[in-house]
């Protein structure tokens, strides 16, 4: 086996490995960004609930000072309890959102093997699979055919460009399926 063959085979093996590693790294970065934004929303929910409880306590004290009879406090008591229940519901909802989210990198997330809701994301996913299939075909040809190893430059270009296309299509499909995407279902 010549040095050119070794380079071609090495490239044929390394390109998919690097592509998968880039996909995993990007998924981890995306998960970190989601966790940070979720933590920010949770912090804001706690701050809002704290302000609401403080306002309810102050408002209740003011109502007690101006109320002439205990019967006059029944309406304000119900209002204050409603405000406190609303604040508690905000905190509970913020905590539940943290528990529900799955944040591990899995093969199904990496290869987009889960259900998409938008038709455009489904179409882009087909392109992603086509790019992966082309990359697998080029790798198979390079590893099995000695004549194809003579075109090292073309093989490297084909593998690299199909890997970059696959990564681009993967990210595009995920963003096209996100809830804040302007696309219709």
Supply the pTM of this predicted model.
0.54
Q: What is the pLDDT of residue 111?
A: 79
Q: Which domain holds residue 94?
A: 3-176
Assigned domain for 92 exists: yes
The tally of domains found in the chain comes to 1
Q: What is the pLDDT of residues 43-81, one digit of tens each?
A: 888 888 899 999 988 988 888 888 777 787 888 888 888
Q: Is residue 75 part of a domain?
A: yes
Q: How far is CA 106 from CA 38, 51, 109, 114, 125, in A?
A: 21, 40, 5, 11, 17
Is residue 50 a contact partner of residue 91, using CB atoms and an 8 Å limit? no
Region 103-118: mean pLDDT is: 79
52 domain-assigned: yes
Residue-level pLDDT at 98: 59
**Residue 73 in contact with residue 63, Cβ under 8 Å?**
yes
CB atoms within 10 A of CB 90: 16
Res. 122: pLDDT tops 90 = yes
Q: Is 14 helix (H, G, I), strand (E, B) or coil?
A: helix
Q: Is residue 182 part of a domain?
A: no
Q: Is residue 181 part of a domain?
A: no
């Amino acid at each position: 086996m010549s040095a050119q063959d070794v380079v071609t085979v090495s490239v044929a093996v390394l390109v998919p490995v690097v592509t998968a590693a880039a996909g995993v790294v990007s998924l981890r970065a995306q998960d970190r960004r989601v966790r940070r934004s979720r933590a920010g929303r949770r912090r804001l929910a706690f701050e809002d609930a704290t302000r609401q409880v403080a306002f309810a306590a102050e408002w209740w004290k003011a109502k007690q000072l101006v109320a002439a009879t205990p019967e006059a406090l029944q309406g304000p008591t119900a209002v204050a309890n409603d405000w406190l229940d609303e604040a508690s519901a905000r905190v509970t909802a913020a905590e539940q959102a943290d528990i529900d989210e799955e944040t591990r990198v899995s093969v199904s997330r990496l290869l987009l093997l889960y259900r998409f809701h938008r038709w455009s994301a489904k179409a882009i996913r087909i392109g992603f699979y086509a790019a992966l299939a082309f990359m697998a075909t080029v790798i198979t040809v390079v590893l099995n055919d000695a004549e194809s190893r003579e075109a090292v430059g073309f093989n490297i270009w084909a593998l690299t460009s199909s890997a970059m296309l696959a990564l681009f299509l993967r990210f595009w499909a995920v963003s096209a399926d996100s809830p804040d995407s302007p696309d219709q279902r």
